[in-house]
């Protein structure tokens, strides 16, 4: 029974590893620059900083921000207004052909205090954009995200099966021991197993958060069905508004509802995170955790009155927390360097595993039952 079980685990480990390894190598390689995305953008000169102004300078009206952005692209529809998590001096406005279109989106960055246009960043082109798209969906959109999510599941299966399969073979070896005096294939195997154990917890965390992020569109769609639909139920069947209230008045209404939070981003009527009748004001806290957790506040786009506000459900909160954890974006530069080292080690684990399989193809290798007998004799 024991031999049969081990043979099953060996089959699971072999094929789960082989199917996902090349894609995991791609994700590890593209993930390296993404860990340092902010730093690389700064080095490339892609980051624009707002000018220094007296600390007492008041913020510009959000209506001025909106009007100045729309003046550049009057034929476009405003989709979102957003800013980085640690940014207070700028707002970025995204404008699309329609409220839900993702093609040829234009971005306008404005000074939050003067409403002056600072830049028109190109988020959808350049080296970092290519790395991001390869890492997220292989330039295949939603099907690509689902596919990479499935590869992530296979990675988790390969890690678990590898621990179960190779634990009996490592019982008589000291932790970290590499049998350098034995055949080259044994040295490769020992190296593969040792580095695999070193990165075990990290690989499971990154693999699991990667799967969660890959299925983010499904999570958001479920939230729309589960929560958003009930929040906007009173507006069901009503025609879209013909005019919109002041954006600043709508922001003020959301801030009054959540005085201890700060505005993270605004979803305009008709976009993914709102309804045709609402501004979606997404508020967040100031701590490392609460700054990642948005609380939606729906404001009637025609009257600037509060419609509803609810805490995020557990599944959407899990998604938002997992996103920065996947790239080590919680603990500053120290954690990013740790993520870098572990990422490189994981690349070595994947590559040595692939080489072990490749070299075995043309060699006579004992089956798993023989290996177990030899191990017990040893």
DSSP for 261-322, written as a single string: SEEEEEEPTTSTTS-TTEEEEEEE-SSTTGGG--EEEEEETTT--EEEE-PPPHHHHHHHHH
pLDDT of residue 349: 86
Q: Which is more confidently placed, 374 or 356?
A: 356
Q: Name beta bridge partners: 266.
A: 81, 281
End-to-end CA distance of the chain: 21
Q: Is residue 117 within 8 Å of 68, Cβ to Cβ? A: yes
pLDDT (average), residues 294-319: 94
Q: State residue 84's pLDDT score.
A: 85
pLDDT band at 296 (very low <50, low <70, confident <90, very high): very high
Q: What angle do CA 248, 107, 214 make, to 5 degrees?
A: 100
Instruction: Give the residue extent of every domain in the chain.
Output: 2-39+132-214+329-377
pLDDT of residue 170: 62
What lies within 8 Å, CB to CB, of 167 at 6+ separation is none
Q: Which residue's entry shows tokens 């080489």? A: 355
pLDDT for 2 beyond 70:
no
Would the pLDDT of 315 be above 60? yes
Note the pLDDT of residue 152: 93
User: Where do the H-state alpha helices sit in the chain?
Assistant: 2-35, 37-43, 62-72, 127-136, 141-166, 184-198, 200-214, 216-223, 229-231, 247-257, 314-326, 332-360, 368-377
Going by pLDDT thresholds of 50, 70 and 90, the confidence category of residue 93 is very high
pLDDT for 378: 39
| Average pLDDT of the residues in 141-163 | 91
CA distance 232 to 224: 10
Higher pLDDT, 310 or 1: 310
Whether the per-residue pLDDT at 375 is higher than 50: the answer is no
Specify the pLDDT at position 52: 87
Query: pTM of the full predicted structure?
Result: 0.83
Q: How confident is the model at residue 372 (pLDDT cuts 50, 70, 90)?
A: very low
| Residues in the chain, total | 378
* Percent of the chain residues topping a pLDDT of 70: 87
Q: Read off the pLDDT band of 102 (50, 70, 90).
A: confident
Q: Binning pLDDT at 50, 70 and 90, where does residue 377 land?
A: very low
Note the pLDDT of residue 1: 53
| 27 closest CA partner among 137, 127, 125 | 137
Q: At what angle do helices 216-223 and 200-214 cross, to 10 degrees?
A: 50
pLDDT tens digits, residue range 226-282?
A: 999 999 999 998 998 989 999 999 999 999 999 999 999 999 999 989 999 999 999
Q: Which long-range contacts (CB under 8 A, 24 or more apart) does 369-376 make?
A: 369/3, 369/6, 369/7, 371/169, 372/3, 372/6, 372/168, 375/168, 375/169, 375/172
pLDDT reported for residue 103: 82
Query: Residue 96 — pLDDT band, cuts 50, 70, 90?
Result: very high
pLDDT in tens, 196-215: 777 888 889 899 999 999 98
């Amino acid at each position: 029974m024991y031999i049969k079980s081990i043979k099953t685990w060996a089959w699971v480990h072999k094929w789960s590893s082989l199917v996902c390894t090349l894609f995991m190598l791609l994700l590890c390689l593209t993930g390296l620059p993404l860990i340092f995305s902010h730093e690389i953008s700064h080095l490339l000169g892609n980051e624009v900083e707002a000018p220094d102004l007296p600390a007492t300078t008041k913020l510009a009206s959000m209506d001025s921000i909106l009007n100045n952005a729309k003046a550049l692209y009057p034929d476009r529809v405003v989709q979102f207004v957003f800013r980085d998590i640690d940014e207070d001096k700028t707002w970025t406005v995204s404008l699309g052909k329609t409220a839900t279109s993702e093609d040829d989106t234009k971005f306008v960055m404005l000074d939050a205090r003067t409403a002056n246009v600072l830049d028109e960043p190109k988020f959808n082109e350049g080296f970092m954009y290519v790395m991001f798209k390869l890492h997220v969906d292989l330039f295949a959109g939603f099907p690509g995200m689902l596919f990479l999510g499935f590869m992530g599941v296979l990675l988790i299966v390969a890690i678990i099966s590898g621990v179960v399969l190779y634990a009996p073979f490592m019982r008589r070896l000291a932790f970290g021991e590499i049998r350098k005096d034995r055949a080259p294939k044994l040295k490769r195997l020992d190296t593969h197993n040792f580095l695999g154990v070193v990165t075990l917890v990290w690989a499971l965390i990154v693999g699991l958060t990667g799967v969660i992020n890959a299925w983010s569109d499904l999570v958001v769609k479920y939230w729309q069905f589960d929560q958003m639909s009930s929040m906007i139920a009173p507006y069901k069947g009503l025609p879209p508004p013909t005019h919109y209230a002041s954006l600043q008045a709508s922001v003020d209404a959301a801030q009054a509802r959540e005085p201890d939070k700060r505005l993270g981003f605004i979803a305009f009527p008709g976009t993914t995170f709102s309804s045709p009748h609402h501004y979606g004001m997404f508020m967040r806290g100031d701590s490392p955790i609460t700054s990642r957790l948005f609380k939606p506040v729906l404001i009637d786009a025609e009257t600037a009155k509060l419609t509803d506000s609810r805490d995020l459900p557990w599944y959407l909160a899990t998604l938002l927390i997992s996103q920065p954890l996947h790239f080590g974006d919680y603990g500053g530069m120290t954690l990013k360097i740790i993520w870098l080292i572990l990422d490189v080690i994981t690349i070595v684990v994947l590559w040595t595993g692939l080489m072990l399989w490749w070299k075995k193809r043309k060699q006579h290798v004992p089956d798993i039952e023989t290996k177990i007998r030899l191990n017990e004799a040893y």
